[in-house]
Amino acid sequence: MAAEPILELQNVHASYGNIKALKGVSLKVYPGEIVAIIGANGAGKSTTLMTICGIVAVDEGDILYQGRSITKVAAEKLPVMGLCQVPEGRRIFPRLTVHENLELGAFYRRDREGIEKDMQRVYELFPVLKERKRQQGGTLSGGEQQMLAIGRALMSRPKVLLMDEPSLGLAPLIVQKIFDIIHEVNQKEGTTILLVEQNANLALQAAQRGYVLETGRVTMEDEAEKLLHNAEIRKAYLGE
């Protein structure tokens, strides 16, 4: 395994109001990897990502990014450091245009030329977004919104990209396209990806390693290949 993890959770506890959502989650993500977190509804997958991004407060434990603690860093500072999320439900700004949504991805950046270049690249990756450039984000279809959400995240040039349920509610063909892009971003740019999925099959095929989350705890971690062939996993998450 490569030297130091780029992202590490050490015994992280977090809660939503009175509900303890994470009860000691520890995981490591190494540079250049695709890591999957699988688990049932309510296992704490999305909370894990929101906690990493500083939206949900850490009650206990520590989160290290590039070797330094980011537990106390304000959420809006993290994208600047290269930590970026494509959240569950895409969260497109509905009354901003497609183009504006993409521009916001690059909000913290000042390098006009670089932004312009990245914008062209996103439009090449997702030609449909270019066609709909002037349309309001809220008018796009689910698949298009997912593309826009990914495009918006790419505009911030992430080092680590957290993705929450990118396949949710999408037609199989679109899902395939989205996962091709995830693969391409990982391979070409070397972007590290932490992927949360209910579709365990899909996630474990894309990832090198995986974690299984159950009621706020990591219950299993292994190479994705092994998890994919683990009888327990197949029974619990792959519907066998």
Partner 1 sequence: MDYFIQQLINGITLGGVYALIALGYTMVYGVIQLINFAHGEFFAAGGYMGVILLNWFIGRGYMSTHPMICIGASVVLTMGYCAFLAMGVEKIAYKPLRSASRLAVLLSALGMSIFLQNAMMLTQGVFDKPYPIELAEGSLTVGGITVSYLQVIIVVFTVVLLVGLNLLVFKTRIGMAMRATAQDKVMSSLVAISSNRIISLTFAVGAGLAAAAGIMVGFYYGSVRYDMGFVPGIKAFAAAVLGGIGNITGAMLGGLIIGMVEVFGAGYISGQYKDVFAFIILIAVLYFKPTGIMGENVDDTRV
Smallest separation, CB 100 to partner 1 (Å): 6
Q: Among 77, 59, 27, which residue's Cα sits nearest to residue 194?
A: 27
Smallest separation, CB 148 to partner 1 (Å): 12
Residue 156 contacts partner 1 per CB under 8 A:
yes
Dist. CA 73–CA 108, nearest whole Å: 16
Smallest separation, CB 91 to partner 1 (Å): 4
Which residue of 10, 93, 121, 135 would you call a contact of partner 1, by CB under 8 A? 93
Written as six digits, the tokens of 148 are 């826009």
Map the footprint of partner 1 across residues 31-70, applying CB under 8 A. Answer: 53-55
Residue 75 contacts partner 1 per CB under 8 A:
yes
Dist. CA 224–CA 119, nearest whole Å: 33
DSSP run (H or E) holding 201: helix 200-206
Q: Which is nearer to partner 1, 78 or 195 (CB)?
A: 78
Q: Which is nearer to partner 1, 88 or 221 (CB)?
A: 88
Smallest separation, CB 156 to partner 1 (Å): 7
Which residue of 59, 60, 62, 103 would you call a contact of partner 1, by CB under 8 A? 103
Question: Which residue intervals of 16-91 are DSSP H helices?
Answer: 45-52, 78-81
Q: Among 103, 112, 121, 105, which residue's Cα sits nearest to residue 181?
A: 121
Which residue of 4, 69, 72, 80 would you call a contact of partner 1, by CB under 8 A? 80
Q: Which is nearer to partner 1, 94 or 127 (CB)?
A: 94
Is residue 180 within 8 Å of 166, Cβ to Cβ? no
Q: Which is nearer to partner 1, 118 or 209 (CB)?
A: 118
Q: Which is nearer to partner 1, 138 or 190 (CB)?
A: 138
Q: Which is nearer to partner 1, 94 or 114 (CB)?
A: 94
Q: Among 80, 57, 33, which residue's Cα sits nearest to residue 183?
A: 33
Written as six digits, the tokens of 122 are 């996103």
Dist. CA 11–CA 219, nearest whole Å: 13
Is residue 155 within 8 Å of 118, Cβ to Cβ? yes
Enumerate binding residues for partner 1 (CB under 8 A).
Answer: 53-55, 74-80, 84-85, 87, 91, 93-96, 100, 103-105, 107-108, 152, 156
